[in-house]
């Protein structure tokens, strides 16, 4: 036992950003207002009726997004039951004569909403938005009480499997934003709430896309809540930054009372700046509706002009042949489940792009609008999915629910340039051909010309097949094909690895891709070897994209431990595999929004247990490796069967023996040094170094942002000491709170805390202490 006091460090968040002032909520007499604050909550294991819930005395004040229960890091008994929310709505003078609604971005899973004791709606499904119209039910002379009951128990109508058999967790609560919508009688409708096929809200499509000219078709759906007809005109303006690049005013139209109308305008833009993974150019489309000379509604839509086209199973983006290197993502965070902040979702997208990916399969349900907006901005192509996993039912109610989910998904997400295709398919679930036909028909109805994608080859435009399935019953597809998942299950089950003989002496746990960050150098290198082999092998197929399983470690309803095949931990810390993928991005691709450009990384802890064969990942032409200033070798990438298809194979250096000290790798392109990485044999831990995960987005005040704080054990020279299971105690003061436990043990030398930020970033201080470094074999 080593009893050594680790120094206490405090971290002032305010110094990390330009301003520490609160982020005020927007207030407007017309439009959408964030309505996340001043809610109250309680949860119950029992199903309660409204009268019983109203008698509840102890309500907890909460802010949305919210999860019903702060879960442990490893979730073995996720809460399932009733989550009750209430909010007092005090009407404002500016609302009179307006249409008043509440929009819930998502709430898990069956929602019932009452206003002043009157039930207004029951909504089934926990991943997509629903809107409650309050206009006729609000009281003006007294405050209004809104009550919401959420039931996240297993549900045969929504599926998927019961939680105890499910490969992921579904969590609960009002876990995405709530908006107050205040509209004039004549207004642009909500795309989902309108319930209109290929209409509702604003629908932007691109009949023509070339480098010389693009046609932007804008369909605007309007509702007139008044009893009398109204005359209106629509003005569309397309902005690049602050500059209007093209605009057009529509003809005068009439919409009858208590009905709706649609306006269509084509904008023709010369020399458009096209959207692609390498050049994610975005425009702002400003839609204005005038009644006479009065502006009655305005909406801004961020769009990207692009064309996805398949020729002989190859993907062309804006005419350029493209292979999409990608990954699957589950959206959960530790402790809070799905209740992430917009900034946290943005940071996830930055991590994915920084890892070298250009494509994300949103498995296996609709992800947040915030993540999708980040994908638009960063250049991540998305496969958008409905909820589904190993569950199908002949029940007409189930099938109707899935069909409506497909419609709502497309209506919500159709304007995102990042969306390549629609996975209206129940993942790994046998489906009848008539049911598949109904889903592909819906896609064509809702977005004519859009591509469908499905797990069964029948019916869908794009065939999704996991690598383990391909190696069992693969046949040449007659349609565009994606390796939907690879690199995990085939090595976990050992039914598809190509190096069975070489790895025969390894235990299953050692040769699996499921390796925690704490599992050490040898097993993390094995994960990287599996991934390299599988990714290289994917190029032997006609696939135009592949998606590794999975980006981040995550919890599973049926398992007592984390699913650890992520290339980052559940705390968003990178494993060696992260750097393998990062090396596959071309060094010439550079962005100020994510990690990019030339890179080199030594995949070693370089201690007495390290392999003398050192693996280096780089996108350089050559890498030079030095040990304590002495050149070991300068060489080009490996050439073997498991690397021949790769853009940038790894570099393996054979050292004679281990020698403590500094390993340094230098990457060269055209003979010029472009990147450098050092690994130093660590000494005894003496200090803690605190860092905050910003990943392209600084901490945000006033919006219930959540950020990771990392306490890194370092020696006297600042080298990371990668020791597991050292307890670190976190403390916090100021307008913030710890979501994670006060004491967290290190994983590969890092203890991770999750912090929720309040209305101000002023005077937030975080401390980390550790008294006892346990274990006589640590050799610090």
CATH number at residue 202: 2.60.40.10
Last residue of a domain, one of 176, 204, 227: 176
Which residue is listed with tokens 């958008």? 384
569 shares a domain with 443: yes
- On whether residue 610 sits in a domain, the answer given is yes
Q: Which two tokens stand for residue 104?
A: 């819930």
Q: Decide: 531 and 577 in contact? Cβ < 8 Å.
A: yes
86 shares a domain with 158: yes
Give residue-wise pLDDT tens across range 466-503: 998 876 556 677 899 999 999 999 888 765 444 445 55
Handedness of CA 237, 240, 242, 245 (dihedral sign): negative
285 shares a domain with 422: no
442 shares a domain with 420: yes
Which residue is listed with tokens 């702060």? 70
- On whether residue 314 sits in a domain, the answer given is no
- On whether residue 348 sits in a domain, the answer given is yes
Backbone angles phi, psi at 379, to 5 degrees: 90, 45
CATH number, position 171: 2.60.120.260
702 shares a domain with 627: no
pLDDT at residue 143 in the model: 96
625 shares a domain with 536: no
Q: CA of 654: how far to CAs of 400, 616, 630, 644, in Å?
A: 60, 11, 14, 20
pLDDT at residue 615 in the model: 98
- On whether residue 778 sits in a domain, the answer given is no
508 shares a domain with 464: yes
| 3-state secondary structure at position 157 | coil
C-alpha closest to that of 568 among 551, 587, 593 = 551
Last residue of a domain, one of 303, 331, 360: 303
Q: Decide: 169 and 78 in contact? Cβ < 8 Å.
A: yes
Last residue of a domain, one of 621, 649, 680: 680
Q: Are strands 294-303 and 283-291 parallel, antiparallel or unpaired?
A: antiparallel
Instruction: Give the torsion through C-alpha atoms of 332, 337, 339, 342, to 10 deg.
Output: -20
215 shares a domain with 102: no
Distance between CA atoms of residues 404 and 417, nearest Å: 23
Distance between CA atoms of residues 584 and 647, nearest Å: 6
- On whether residue 659 sits in a domain, the answer given is yes
694 shares a domain with 659: no
- On whether residue 331 sits in a domain, the answer given is yes
Element (H, E) at 350: helix 342-354
Q: Decide: 669 and 590 in contact? Cβ < 8 Å.
A: no
676 shares a domain with 694: no
**Non-local CB neighbours of 756 within 8 Å, separated by 6+ positions:** 704, 705, 706, 736, 737, 738, 739
Which residues, given as ranges, of the chain have pLDDT below 50? 1-29, 496-500, 773-780
- On whether residue 757 sits in a domain, the answer given is yes
Number of domains in the chain: 5
pLDDT at residue 478 in the model: 84
Long-range pairs of 45-48 with CB within 8 A, sequence gap ≥ 24? 45/81, 45/82, 46/81, 46/82, 47/81, 47/82, 47/151, 48/82, 48/84, 48/149
- On whether residue 422 sits in a domain, the answer given is yes
215 shares a domain with 146: no
242 shares a domain with 132: no
The percent of the chain in helix, strand and coil, each rounded to the nearest 5, is 15, 35, 50
CATH number, position 394: 3.20.20.80
Give residue 606's domain range.
Answer: 600-680
**Non-local CB neighbours of 556 within 8 Å, separated by 6+ positions:** 166, 167, 168, 169, 563
Q: Which two tokens stand for residue 727?
A: 């307890």
Q: Decide: 277 and 317 in contact? Cβ < 8 Å.
A: yes
Distance between CA atoms of residues 724 and 758, nearest Å: 31
């Amino acid at each position: 036992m080593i009893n050594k006091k680790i120094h206490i460090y405090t971290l002032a968040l305010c110094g990390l950003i330009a301003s520490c002032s609160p982020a005020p909520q927007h207030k407007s007499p017309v439009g959408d207002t964030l309505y996340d604050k001043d809610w109250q909550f309680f949860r119950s294991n029992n199903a309660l009726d409204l009268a019983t819930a109203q008698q509840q005395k102890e309500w907890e004040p909460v802010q949305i997004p919210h999860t019903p229960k702060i879960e442990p890091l490893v979730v073995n008994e996720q809460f399932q039951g009733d989550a009750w929310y209430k909010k007092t709505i005090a009407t404002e003078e500016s609302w009179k004569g307006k249409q008043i609604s509440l929009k819930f971005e998502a709430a898990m899973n069956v929602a019932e909403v009452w206003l002043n004791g009157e039930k207004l709606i029951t909504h089934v499904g926990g991943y997509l938005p629903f809107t409650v119209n309050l206009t006729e039910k609000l009281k003006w002379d007294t405050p209004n009480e809104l009550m919401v009951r959420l039931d996240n128990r297993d549900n045969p109508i929504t599926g998927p499997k019961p939680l105890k058999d499910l490969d992921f967790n579904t969590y609960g609560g009002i876990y995405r934003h709530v908006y107050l919508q205040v509209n004039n009688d004549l207004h642009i409708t909500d795309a989902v709430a309108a319930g209109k096929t290929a209409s509702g809200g604003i629908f932007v499509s691109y009949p023509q896309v070339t480098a010389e000219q693009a046609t932007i078709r804008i369909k605007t759906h309007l509702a007139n809540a008044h009893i009398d007809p109204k005359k209106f005109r629509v003005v569309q303006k397309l902005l690049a930054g602050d500059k209007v690049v093209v605009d057009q005013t529509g003809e005068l139209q009439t919409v009858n009372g208590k009905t709706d109308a649609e306006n269509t305008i084509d904008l023709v833009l010369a020399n458009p700046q096209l959207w692609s993974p390498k050049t994610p150019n975005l425009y702002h489309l400003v839609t204005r509706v005038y009644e006479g000379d009065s502006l009655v509604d305005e909406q801004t839509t961020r769009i990207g002009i692009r064309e996805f086209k398949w020729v002989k199973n190859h993907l062309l983006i804006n005419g350029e042949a493209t292979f999409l290197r990608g990954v699957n993502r589950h959206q959960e965070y530790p402790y809070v489940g799905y209740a992430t902040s917009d900034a946290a979702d943005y940071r996830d997208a930055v991590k994915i792009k920084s890892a070298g990916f250009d494509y994300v399969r949103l498995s296996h349900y609709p992800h947040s609008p915030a993540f999708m907006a980040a994908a638009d901005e960063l250049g991540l192509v998305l496969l958008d999915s409905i909820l589904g996993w190993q569950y199908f039912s002949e029940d007409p109610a189930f099938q109707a629910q899935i069909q409506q989910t497909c419609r709502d998904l497309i209506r919500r997400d159709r304007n995102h340039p990042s969306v390549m295709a629609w996975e209206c398919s129940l993942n790994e679930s046998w489906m009848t051909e008539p049911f598949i036909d109904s889903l592909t028909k819906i896609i064509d109805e809702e977005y004519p010309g859009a591509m469908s994608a499905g797990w069964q080859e029948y019916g869908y435009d794009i065939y999704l097949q996991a690598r383990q399935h391909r190696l069992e019953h693969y046949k040449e597809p007659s349609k565009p094909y994606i390796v939907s998942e690879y690199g995990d299950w085939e090595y976990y089950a050992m039914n598809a690895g190509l190096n069975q003989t070489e790895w025969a002496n390894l235990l299953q746990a050692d040769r699996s891709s499921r390796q925690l960050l704490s599992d050490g150098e040898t097993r993390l290198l094995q994960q990287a070897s599996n991934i390299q082999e599988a990714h290289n092998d994917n190029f032997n197929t006609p696939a135009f994209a592949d998606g590794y399983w999975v980006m981040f470690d995550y919890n599973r309803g049926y398992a007592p431990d984390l699913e650890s095949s992520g290339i980052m931990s559940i705390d968003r810390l990178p494993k060696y595999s992260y750097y393998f993928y990062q090396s596959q991005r071309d060094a010439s691709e550079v962005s100020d929004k994510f990690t990019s450009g030339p890179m080199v990384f030594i995949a070693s802890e370089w201690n007495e247990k390290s392999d003398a064969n050192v693996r280096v990942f780089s996108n350089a032409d050559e890498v030079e490796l030095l040990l304590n200033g002495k050149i070991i070798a300068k060489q080009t990438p490996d050439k073997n069967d498991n690397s021949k298809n790769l853009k940038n194979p790894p570099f393996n250096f054979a050292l004679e023996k281990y020698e403590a000290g500094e390993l340094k790798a230098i990457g060269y392109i055209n003979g010029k040094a472009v990147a450098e990485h050092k690994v130093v044999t660590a000494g005894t831990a003496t200090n803690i170094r605190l860092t905050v995960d910003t990943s392209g987005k600084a901490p945000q005040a006033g919006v219930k942002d959540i950020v990771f704080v990392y306490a890194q054990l370092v020696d006297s020279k600042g080298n990371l000491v990668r020791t597991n299971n050292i307890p670190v105690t976190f403390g916090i003061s100021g307008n913030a709170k710890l979501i994670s436990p006060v004491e967290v043990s290190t994983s590969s030398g890092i203890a991770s805390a999750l912090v929720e930020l309040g209305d101000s970033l002023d005077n937030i201080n975080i401390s980390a202490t550790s008294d006892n470094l346990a274990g006589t074999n640590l050799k610090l």
